[in-house]
Structures are given as structure tokens and as C-alpha cells.
Amino acid sequence: MAEDDGAVRGGHISFEQAEGIIGRTGKAPVMGPRAAEVLAYFGAVALVVATLVLAYDVAFGDTGIAGLVFGSFDNLPAGLVALLGAAILLVLGTRFADHDAGAIRRSGSFTLLAGFGLASVAFGFLLYDLDLGDFTPLVRLLPVAVVALYVWQRSPSVPTQLALFATAVEAVSAILVLVQIEDPLEPSELILSAALGSMPNTQGWVSLVVGTALGLSWIWLGTTGRIRTRNAAFALGAFYAWISALQLFGTTDGWIALSTAIAVGFVWGATRWQSSVLGGFATVAVAVLIAQFISVLVDSPTTTTFVVAYGVPGVLALAGAWGMSRSPRAPLASSTPAG
């Protein structure tokens, strides 16, 4: 069973396949582990919603978001409410993660992620008034990072990896603020911008390059087994690196070199590490890369431009796949003992 768990965490087999390996038929009592898993999912989501609504009411009351402007913002009581909800979810998530049944263990990972989310909100409220200059974002992140490391170490899985990756992104941003590459963003500005339907942009090209490096580093951590599951590490790292490279290309055409390197790297990684996840990202990256080259090289692209730019390599790729599929199969091992 331990070997099967390792294969699931590595992304080699699904948890349903692991259960089949150990002899489960797929038929279980209605009030069995699956029912507990679903109840835990719903309970965690419902508790998060209830806690956020209560924390919002405690923080802003009748003034709404305008309380930030007029000074009727009770951040400490709201933070304590969110922290209580986070504590409940973290305790329950730890209990579920320790369970023998795989279904309940999986619900533990999700419950721990929900607890991490509420803890992030709680510390955001509690440390709202903290002002340490450029050190402020990093110090605000420290308690959140402790929670992220706890949930990850308690139950390495896709949900807790999301918490870990989000914390890594915030940590990189805080360090960039500390070295004065990024501008600090006050929570009040973030909340007001979100309320108005927009997000302030404080990133320059250095931040985007660092973001690309972070995504590629996450892929490498997945290949080494330091981050599990591998497929989740590939997906998170590839998406973040690719989006950062696209944003860089939006600043100037010269960054198409990075987009090309990212696309080629994804193709190489998909074949080298036998990863369909990276293969999917490679497909998208190459398809978008063609459009990027069209925008750089062609002033007024026509229908013919796109037909040729996509049709020719598409046909060649399919021809290559067809040719490779015609290669002789390895002979099956004979069941007759050798003489």
C-alpha cells in the first residue's frame, strides 16, 4: 500500500487505480469513506463561506468597503473570527489526513487547504496596521508561510501544493519589494481595487523574469520528487512560467526569444520525463508561439497567413506522428518456458 501511495503522489497512477491494485471492487457501503469525503468537502466550503461572511460583517458592518475610507474598519475582531475558522479547519484537516481510508485522507488535504485560505485572510486582517517599511510584506507573510509549510508537510498532495505554491509566489514578491524592485501594495489599495473590478499592477520586467524562473524551478522540483504530486508541480510551474513569458512579450517583441525557449523546453520536458501534462502545455505554448511570430513578422496577416502558418506545421506534425505509429511493436514475451 505504501508503494501505491507513492505512485499516486508521484502522479504515475490515479488514486482509483491504486484502490484497484489493492483489490477494491469499486462497490462500497453508501455510508462509507466516500460519503465522509464528500461531507468533508462540503463542510469545509460551507464553513469558509460562513466565516468570511461573518468576518466581513465584523470588519465593515453597515459601512461596507467605504469603511476603509471613513475609518470604521474593525480589522482585529474580523481577524480573530477568521483565525477561529482557520483553526477549526486545520484541526479537522489534520485529523482527516491521519485517517487510514484513502478517501478521507484526500478530504483532509482539501480541508487543510481551506484552513490555509482562512488563515491567510485572518493574518491579513490581524497584521493590517503593521508598518515596517519595505520589510512589511515579508513579515506579514511569515505566519502564512508557517501554515503553508504545515499543511504541506502534514499531507503532501495537490491541494496543499497549491497553498505552498501561492506562498512561494508571495514570498518572491515580498523579497522583490524588499530589494526595491517592486512597489509595495497596501491591503486597503488591493481591497478597493478589487471592489472596483480591477487589480493594480506593480510588476516590471524584472518581476516577470523572476516569475518565469519560479515556474521553471517548480517544474524542476517536481522532477526531483521534492514536490508531490509531480503532475501538479508540472501544471503549476508550466502555467506560471508561460503566463509570465507572455506578459514579457506584451512589453516588447524581443521577448519572443523567451517564449520560444519556453515552448521548446516544454516539448523537451514532455518527451524526456514522459509527461502528458507538460505535453499539453507544450501544445498550447507552440500554438500561441506561432501567433506571436505572425504578429512580429507580418504587418497585416490574412486568412492565408494563418492557414499556411498553422496548416503546414500541423500536417507535418501529424505525418510525423503517423510515421512513428507505424514503427514495429516490441514482441510480447513468450509464455512458453525456454528449453
Sequence ranges of the domains in the chain: 1-27, 31-202, 215-316
Instruction: Output the pTM of the full model.
Output: 0.82
CA distance 277 to 234: 7
Cβ-Cβ contacts under 8 Å for 11 (sequence gap 6 or more) = 228, 229, 230, 231, 232, 234, 277
Give me the pLDDT at residue 269, please. Answer: 96
Give me the pLDDT at residue 63, please. Answer: 62
Write the DSSP symbol of residue 63.
G
Cβ-Cβ contacts under 8 Å for 256 (sequence gap 6 or more) = 249, 289, 292, 293, 296
CA distance 4 to 14: 10
Give me the pLDDT at residue 62, please. Answer: 65
**How does 260-285 read in b/e, with b if 16+ C-beta sit within 10 Å?**
bebbebbbebbeeeebebbbebbeeb
Give me the pLDDT at residue 12, please. Answer: 55
Cβ-Cβ contacts under 8 Å for 21 (sequence gap 6 or more) = 4, 13
CA distance 248 to 196: 26
Residue 248 φ then ψ, to 5° = -65, -40
Q: Which of 49, 38, 43, 163 is nearest to 91 (CA)?
A: 43
pLDDT tens-place values along the chain, 339 residues long: 444 555 555 555 555 545 555 545 555 555 567 888 999 999 999 999 999 999 988 888 766 555 555 556 788 999 999 999 999 999 999 999 998 767 888 899 999 999 999 999 999 999 988 888 889 999 999 999 999 999 999 999 999 999 999 999 999 999 998 988 877 766 555 554 444 455 455 567 888 999 999 999 999 999 998 998 899 999 999 999 999 999 999 999 999 999 999 999 999 999 999 999 999 999 999 999 999 999 999 999 999 999 999 999 999 999 999 998 876 665 544 444 443
- From the centroid of its chain, how far is CA 285? 18
* Residue 92 neighbours by CB distance under 10 Å: 20
Q: Provide the H-helix boundaries in 196-327.
A: 205-224, 230-251, 256-272, 276-297, 303-325
Give me the pLDDT at residue 272, please. Answer: 94
* Residue 337 neighbours by CB distance under 10 Å: 5
CB 115 within 8 A of CB 89: yes
Give me the pLDDT at residue 334, please. Answer: 46
